[in-house]
Amino acid sequence: MYRPNHTKSLLTSGKPAYGMIHSLAHPPVAEMIGQAGFDFVVIDGEHGQGGMGEHLNCLQAVAATPATAIFRVAANDPVRLKRVLDLGVEGVLIPDVSTAAEAEAAVAACQYPPRGKRGFSAPTARAADYSYAVERYLADDGSELLICPMIETARGIENAAAIAAVEGVDVVQIGPFDLSYDLGIPGQFDHPDFLAAVVELEAAANAAGKILGGVPLPGAALDDILQRGYRFITLGADVPLLAEALAGRVPG
């Protein structure tokens, strides 16, 4: 369903937006997350379950709520991006972006010519309400789409300033777990090397005037990351939340 992007509106007005990762590819669960009051739902096409059909059903479920439907693609690939954009996602998380050229390619894959290289089929796509909103969809020139490259490697940190400077990038998102593994310190979020990398990424995004995206890691309270400039904030994922709730109900 084509509509104004609630999350992007919050972010551009300087307000934080809070979301949850949906890994189960189960429409009622996706709908529940949106109804709970989160600003966005990340449908996880990288590590989560489901295929295009299930993901479409989840997008339709989220559309019944005020929440924005964000999709994490499996790779920075123009075909994958084209497919989910035509399904009508309202934002894309693009993993493992390590250079400005990769960020530029991601942005180009999300925009129609002459601004980008996205293949055109708006009259047949759910993104344009199955042809009912083609003119309105094309008139916004992609301004309602939230584009969020993820920096998850030491190489990405080295190029963070150049990535953040790419026109069309809205959010610079840190991938803390993959970054810690790439640095050779898996899960050590208090390690000096990890902390230095985070500081470098934060400085790059803030200097470029881009929105910082991330998660409150152990030892970092929500107020702390808000003060450091984060606005696109993911507060967890459905699977561990459900697992924790279930285990907590087992007697003894």
CB burial of 137-156 (b: ≥16 within 10 Å; e: otherwise) equals beeeebebbbbbbbbbbeeb
Collapsing DSSP states into helix, strand and coil, what is residue 56? helix
Entry field: residues in the chain: 252
Whether 93 contacts 65, CB under 8 Å: no
H or E, element range at 194:
helix 192-207
Query: CA 146 to CA 7: how far, in whole Å?
Result: 8
Tell me how many degrees the CA angle 118-93-56 measures, rounded to the nearest 5.
75
User: Which listed residue (22, 26, 47, 191) is catalytic?
Assistant: 47
The first and second tokens of residue 207, run together, are 């200097």
Cβ neighbors of 203 (< 8 A, separation 6 or more) are none
Q: Is 191 a catalytic residue?
A: no
**What residues are labeled active site?**
47
